[in-house]
Amino acid sequence: YNADAAFGYNPQQAAALLDAAGWTPGSDGVRAKDGMRFSFELMYFAEDTVRRDLAQAFASDMAKLGIEVQLLAVDRPQAKQRLATTAFVFGGGDVPYDPDTQLYTTVHSSFADFDPNDPYSNASQYRNPAVDALLDQARAEADPDARAADYQQLQMLLVVDPPSVTLFALDHTYVARNLDQYSPIEHVVEPHEHGIAWGPWWNVASWR
């Protein structure tokens, strides 16, 4: 974890940057430049209420900046078909939870060409040679400290040149009562793929 790799929050500066780039608000409040409205579609899984709420909140925040976000509730086959061209509320991760498993297929340019059979790998079609170099170096590094330094540097690169808009990290709270053989653990990062092999559930078979 690199505490310095953080995104700032400054709507006024964001609006000023849009103004300076020539994106000026129209009569309806939506910015436009050279006849093109600043408007785009954003997909989310129709059955996922968390992603729906996130999409709605994001669209509301963007509207305050003069950016129109058109929300699309889609099923999973529709999402896969359109991922190459349409923004998407993406939530993901892999197990075991490790920087390599989380980042390599997500931002390495070897996955940047859209593959309909693997549409969620590097869905942003992101390419950055410096990011590639650090990912390759870190996954081959045997020294834990050197590996950590590589990933800390990588975090800074992804803040300067982000492949996506990072919204949040979801907290999960579990409550248990009077469980014999329950072994509590400290606050941990949980992968997108939940299950009994991770987090507080690792020894669920022995609970009484």
Q: What is the mean pLDDT of residues 1-19?
A: 94
What pLDDT is attached to residue 167? 87
Q: Tell me, yes or no, whether 78 and 112 share the same domain.
A: no
Give the domain-ending residue among 70, 91, 112. 91
Lowest mean pLDDT among 1-10, 86-95, 181-190: 181-190
Q: pLDDT higher for 194 or 23? A: 23
Give pLDDT tens digits for 151-204.
Answer: 999 999 999 999 999 888 777 776 767 777 666 666 666 656 566 666 667 677
pLDDT at 206: 77
What pLDDT does 194 receive?
61
Regarding whether 122 and 201 lie in a shared domain, the answer is no
What local confidence, expressed as pLDDT, does residue 1 receive?
86
Range of the structural domain that residue 186 is part of: 175-208
Same domain, 3 and 86: yes
Model confidence over 25-48: pLDDT tens digits? 999 999 999 999 999 999 999 999
The verdict on residue 110 lying in a domain is yes
Residues 79, 7 share a domain: yes
Tens-place pLDDT, residues 118-131: 999 999 999 999 99
CATH number of the domain to which 28 belongs: 3.10.105.10
Residue 7 scores a pLDDT above 70? yes
Report yes or no on 168 lying in a domain: no
Q: Are residues 53 and 2 in the same domain?
A: yes
Whole-structure pTM value: 0.83
Percent of the chain scoring above 70 in pLDDT: 87
Q: How far apart are CA 142 and CA 153, in angstroms?
A: 17
Q: Is residue 114 in some structural domain? A: yes
At which residue do the structure tokens 């540097």 appear?
153
The predicted structure's pLDDT at residue 91: 82
Among 36, 57, 91, the domain-final residue is 91
**How many structural domains comprise the chain?**
3
In a domain, 136, yes or no: yes
Q: Is residue 169 part of a domain?
A: no
Q: What is the mean pLDDT of residues 137-147?
A: 97
If pLDDT is split at 50, 70 and 90, which confidence band does 207 have? confident
Higher pLDDT, 208 or 197: 208
Verify that 98 and 59 share a domain, yes or no: no
Average of per-residue pLDDT values in the chain: 89
What pLDDT shows up at residue 107?
96
